[in-house]
Amino acid sequence: TTKIGVLAVQGAVSEHVKALKASGAEAYVVKNVQDLEGLDGLVLPGGESTTMRRLLDKYGLFDAIKTFSADKPVFGTCAGLILMAKKIEGRQGPHLGLLDIDVKRNAFGRQVDSFEADLAIKHVADHYDGVFIRAPYIKSVGDGVEVLSTYEDNVVACRQGRFLTCAFHPELTDDLRMHRYFVRMVEETV
């Protein structure tokens, strides 16, 4: 079985661990650089991207994840998506900058802080209940990025090679199909 880590400096960690295990992978929490050893893939969960970045620097994980991602699959959800983006509106420079996407944080506005939407996700599901919490959306994607899902003309899930990302929280429902898709990606890479 494949071994997948969940970055555990902040945010929705245990739900991802549970979903990965239920999807047929071994799942481990990643709190420091050593925890990355022997893993085949990594999940960057939701939370608050600015805080997560600060903690990545503090624990030396920023460079370690950059190195890890050079040949291993990474799945970022919500704040994790922001960490992976090459361009973030209103911010000078990216965080990890893994994915050729341009994102807007808290993009759905205050009135609709959180909501659920019925999504079609390419390769994954015709109907999928997407849970959005102060979510970002993807304003544009570069060449080689496959759009997997849109909501009201905004891109909310995409894939570029070994990198997968979504603006919603797949760990907060019992639907395992996004996690299963990532586990398959990891299996195909190992």
> Binding site for L-glutamine, residues?
47-49, 105, 133-134
Minimum CB separation of residue 81 from ligand GLN in Å reads 8
The packing angle between helices 177-189 and 14-22, to 10°, is 70
Instruction: Check 16, 95, 169, 179 and give the catalytic one.
Output: 169
The reply on whether position 102 binds ligand GLN by CB under 6 A is: no
Minimum CB separation of residue 114 from ligand GLN in Å reads 9
**167 Cβ contact list (under 8 Å, min separation 6):** 77, 78, 81, 107, 130, 132, 135, 136, 137, 138, 156, 157
Element (H, E) at 149: strand 146-151
User: Could you tell me whether strands 85-88 and 99-104 are parallel, antiparallel, or unpaired per DSSP bridges?
Assistant: parallel
Q: Which one of residues 78, 101, 131, 178 is an interface residue with ligand GLN (CB under 6 A)?
A: 78
The reply on whether position 178 binds ligand GLN by CB under 6 A is: no
Output 1 or 106, the one with its CB closest to ligand GLN: 106
Element (H, E) at 158: strand 154-160
169 is catalytic: yes
158 is catalytic: no
Q: Counting beta carbons within 10 angstroms of the beta carbon of residue 70, is it exposed (0 to 12), middle (13 to 18) or buried (19 or more)? A: exposed
116 is catalytic: no
The reply on whether position 79 binds ligand GLN by CB under 6 A is: yes
Stretch that binds ligand GLN, among 21-29, 44-52, 96-104, 180-188 (CB under 6 A): 44-52
Output 2 or 158, the one with its CB closest to ligand GLN: 158
Instruction: Check 16, 78, 166, 179 and give the catalytic one.
Output: 78
- 132 neighbors 116 (Cβ within 8 angstroms): yes
Q: Catalytic residue numbers?
A: 78, 169, 171
> Which residue ranges make up the site for ligand GLN (CB under 6 A)?
46-49, 78-79, 82, 105-106, 133-134
